[in-house]
Amino acid sequence: MTPSRASVAAGRRTWLFDLDGTLVDSCPAHEAAFRQAIAEIAPGALASFRYADHVGASTAEVASRLVPGDAVAAGRLARRKQGLYREYAEAGRVDVLPGARRLLDRLTRDGRTLYLVTSGSRGSVERVLAARSLDGCFRAVLTSDDVPVSKPDPEFYAYACRRWAVDVADAVVVEDSAHGVASAVGAGLATFQVHAAEPAAGAISVPGLDEIVSLLHQEQR
């Protein structure tokens, strides 16, 4: 029998969070950075570019898709996009999503262990966390710089669990994208999916982060 949302929230002591689209509204800044980088380096790919098609993938992977067969151009594109995005992050153009601080604060008060598992590069992630005062929320952070694969490969989350000795049966993931859900579910992790119009296969659908806070309140009733 599928466990209830409340029992999943109540029963897990370790929480693994995605960042982009889950805790912070970084999509506008990512898309703007990609569009500017593409216009400069691979203008022929701009007309067909849809950021929504790439949500959850690493910058390097997206760049390779945009200029297939040209590793040099893909590398230049990825570096330029990352540089632009980091400028946007430091300028405050990445906002914290509703409920994110409440959820992180509540879990911390309850003594849960929090980790960040993100497809972003470490430099970009560190800038966002620092700019929004989220850098003290997590015991450790795993980025695309640390893993040789990308979401939706289950090895992304499996590697995180091995690295931090996380008991899969005692952990829950919070993700937003289908790529992220596929990686987490494939690694055997219970997974809440937020901010999604259509739940991905295997996900426990929750409208937003405040609803997870409400599930935690139910635990104490």
| Alpha-carbon torsion (19, 25, 30, 33), positive or negative | negative
Contacts of 10 (CB under 8 A, 6+ apart): 215, 216, 218, 219
Q: 2 or 150, which is more confident? A: 150
The confidence score (pLDDT) of residue 91 equals 94
Dihedral angle computed from the Cα positions of residues 52, 91, 147 and 13, in that order, rounded to the nearest 10 degrees: -90
**pLDDT tens per residue, range 187-203:** 999 999 999 989 999 99
Percent of the chain with pLDDT over 90: 86
**pLDDT tens per residue, range 33-53:** 999 999 999 999 999 999 989
Rounded to two decimals, the pTM is 0.90
Contacts of 158 (CB under 8 A, 6+ apart): 187, 188
The confidence score (pLDDT) of residue 160 equals 98
Least confident of 58-62, 63-67, 166-170: 58-62
Residue 52 burial (CB count, 10 A): 8
Check residue 4 and report its DSSP letter: P
How far is the C-alpha of 5 from the C-alpha of 219, rounded, in Å?
11
Angle at alpha carbon of residue 142, lines to 138 and 143, rounded to 5°: 125
Angle at alpha carbon of residue 81, lines to 75 and 156, rounded to 5°: 70
β partners of residue 73: none
How far is the C-alpha of 173 from the C-alpha of 179, rounded, in Å?
13
* Sheet bearing 204-205, strands edge to edge: 140-142, 113-117, 14-17, 171-175, 190-193, 204-205
- Residue 15: enclosing H or E segment and its boundaries? strand 14-17
What is the mean predicted confidence (pLDDT) over 67-80? 96
pLDDT at 1 over 50: no
Helix, strand, or coil here: 150? coil
Cβ atoms of 97 and 23 closer than 8 Å:
yes
The confidence score (pLDDT) of residue 67 equals 95
| Alpha-carbon torsion (180, 185, 188, 190), positive or negative | positive
The helix-helix angle for 71-90 and 122-131 (nearest 10°) equals 10
**pLDDT tens per residue, range 127-151:** 999 999 999 999 999 999 999 998 9
What is the mean predicted confidence (pLDDT) over 88-104? 96
Helix, strand, or coil here: 103? helix
The confidence score (pLDDT) of residue 220 equals 53
